[in-house]
Structure formats: C-alpha cells, structure tokens
Structure 1
C-alpha cells in the first residue's frame, strides 16, 4: 500500500526543454561538453561550489559573460501548467499520502523559477510538500542511491510504501534498487495528474 509519494520537479511539474541550454551554449562557441564541464555541473548541482564560481569557470574557459551564461543556463526552464498545480493541491488536501519533492536543482534554476512564478505561487507550491528537497541544498544528487536513503531515513519511510516519480530512467532505476516503487514518466505522452490511476494505487 502506497503511503508516501516522492516527486521530481522538472518534466513532472514544470516543463523543460532539455536541449535548449546546449543549443544556447553552442551559439556562444561551446559545442562539446567535456568531462571537466560535467564535473563542474555536478559540483554545482550539489551546492559544493557557488554560483559565482560556476559562472567564473565558464568565463575563464570560454570567455562567456555572466548575463549570457545565465540566460543560456535557464533556457531549459519552461512553463508550469496550472492543471498540475490543481492536481497537487487536491492531492495534498486529501491527507491520504505524505508528499515530498526531490529535485536535482541548482541555485540559478531555482532563483529563475522563484522570480518567474512570483513569491506567492512558489510558496503555495512548496507548501503542499512535507519536505522540499533540492540537491544543491542537501549536497546530494540523483541518481546516487544515498539521496534516496537520506529521504527514507530522514522521514522514517518504508521503501515498500513509497513511490518515486521521475522522467529520468537512471534516477528511477536507482530508487528501484532500494525497493521503492517507481514511475519513470515520459513527459511527451504521460502526465503526473494521472498518477492515482496507476496500478500501485488501485486496490
């Protein structure tokens, strides 16, 4: 029986264009993603380096000005469909499940979202979750299994009573290794609002 629901953020609630940042960086002369770039990204996503350090890395390596890097970095972020907020609001109101958000999100992205949505909408969205875990705040990231172990342990959750929804296969695979139920949703064909129609919720 499912008692706990852990949601990803991007391409579950907010829509993403995952190629947009690569396209924008290519316009600035960054046509290949190197290993040191990925390591900087992982460090930044876990909050182990600051936004200024991350921006300086790209400036020193590619001479990309701060404003252009911020624009390119946030190009991935699209809209937040209202029907998903309505679904979350109704789900939270039932008190049938403990709700959590677990997202690989960096400081630049969440700052853009807060500014784009406005404080009222952002705080409303956040209020529907018992815990709101962002990778750069907890220094952990998916698909490393320790991030799931952290959420289970911190909240006394049983893996067998928990489902995790994420659009990235390696993330759901990692959660599944720990005995967590998973839904690897495809954002092009599936919508989180149909969650309760899945077999895990049907007696």
Structure 2
C-alpha cells in the first residue's frame, strides 16, 4: 500500500526549460550554450554542493572564453525560467487531504533551493525532503534515495516516486520504490490519482 508520494522538483513542480527561455536572446546558438552550462560536469557538482556558483562560472569561462558574455548572461538570469507547475500544487493539496505523506527528492543547488523556497514556499510545506546539495550526491546515485528512507523512516515499498528522467525512476525502482515518469502534467496527475485509487 502506498503511503508516501515523493516528487522531484525540476520539470515536476517547477518548469526547467532553459533552451526555450533563452532562445529569443541567443537564437540558433541557444542549445549549444545551454549544454555548455546545464550539461556540464560543473553544473552537476554545483547541484551536489561541491562547487560554488563562482567556481562554476570561473571553470566555464576558462573552458569557453569566446562565449564569456553569453555564459555570464545565462548564469545571471537562469533562475527566472523556473515557474510553478500549478496542477502539481493542486495534486499535492489533494494528496495531503487524503492522508498521504509528501516528500521532495531533487538534484538541486543550495542557491536554487533557497530561491524556490522563497518564491514558491507552498511546494516546501511537505513532510520532508532530500536535496543533492546537502548530502553531496545526485540522482540516480542510490545514496540520495537511501538517505531519504533513512532520515524519515519510510519504506520504499510504500512510496511512489515521480521524476521527469527515466534513469532516476529506474534507480528508485531498483531500490523497491514504485515509480512514475513525469510526462504531460494533466496526464500525469490523472495517472497518479488512478494509481492511488487502485490501492
């Protein structure tokens, strides 16, 4: 029986579409620039709390000096494209009313966490959360999942995990979680309601 529902943050609770957001500024070069930043090992280490934003900036500028102005622009404005996915807010409210425990499990830097908690505090009014920057581990590494289970004393077999990346859902399933991949938001909300109704 599922007692806990666990949500990723990026592209589950808030949008994370940098290419779409920055395209009006950089046009055809947008995808390349966003890969430089958000697809970099530096960004992964930033999420893990191992590198600071300043260190990420320095490393990226050393690597891509010809794109200095564009990278600085992205690093200055990137938080602006994270907007709340409101149907998920409503879903969480309904699940709380029905007695489910709600947790967050996200690869996220401390800067992002503090920004989102300030801008959209309702998403953090939950029973707990595990964030990569706190434990220096990113999904799909099993450490972050196991830490969530240990800290909050919950069972994987009683937990449904929702993430937008298949590899993260697969890692959760390997540890005994129920898993679901975030797709179209309305379809996903309906799937979750149906899945829990079958319990």
State the TM-score, normalizing by the size of structure 2.
0.79
* 1:88 lines up with 2:85 in the alignment: no
Choose which of 79, 101, 109 in structure 1 pairs with 2:112.
109
CA distance in 2, matches of 1:41, 1:188: 26
- Give the direction of change, closer, same or farther, for the CA distance of 1:18–1:172 in structure 2 (3 Å limit): farther
* 1:61 lines up with 2:63 in the alignment: yes
Shift of 1:188: 6.5
Look up the match of 2:194: 197
CA distance in 2, matches of 1:167, 1:83: 15
- Give the direction of change, closer, same or farther, for the CA distance of 1:193–1:54 in structure 2 (3 Å limit): farther
Equivalence map 1:1-203=2 (5 Å): 1-17=1-17, 19-20=19-20, 26=29, 30=33, 33=36, 38-63=40-65, 64-65=68-69, 67-71=72-76, 73-74=78-79, 77-94=81-98, 96-114=99-117, 117=119, 122-127=120-125, 129-187=126-184, 190-192=187-189, 194-198=191-195, 200-203=196-199
171-180 vs 77-86, which moves further: 77-86
- Give the direction of change, closer, same or farther, for the CA distance of 1:151–1:29 in structure 2 (3 Å limit): closer
CA distance in 1, matches of 2:186, 2:11: 11
Shift of 1:169: 0.3
- Segments of structure 1 that go 5 or more residues without pairing to the other structure are none
- Give the direction of change, closer, same or farther, for the CA distance of 1:31–1:171 in structure 2 (3 Å limit): closer
Deviation digits for residues 33-67 of structure 1, max 9, x if unmatched? 59xx7322221110011111111112222232574
CA distance in 1, matches of 2:21, 2:76: 9
CA distance in 2, matches of 1:190, 1:5: 17
Q: Report the secondary structure of 1:179's partner residue.
A: coil
CA distance in 1, matches of 2:187, 2:83: 16
Q: Report the secondary structure of 1:15's partner residue.
A: coil
Shift of 1:138: 2.6
Structure with the bigger percentage of helix: 2
CA distance in 1, matches of 2:158, 2:149: 11
- Segments of structure 2 that go 5 or more residues without pairing to the other structure are none
The alignment's C-alpha RMSD in Å is 3.1
State the TM-score, normalizing by the size of structure 1.
0.78
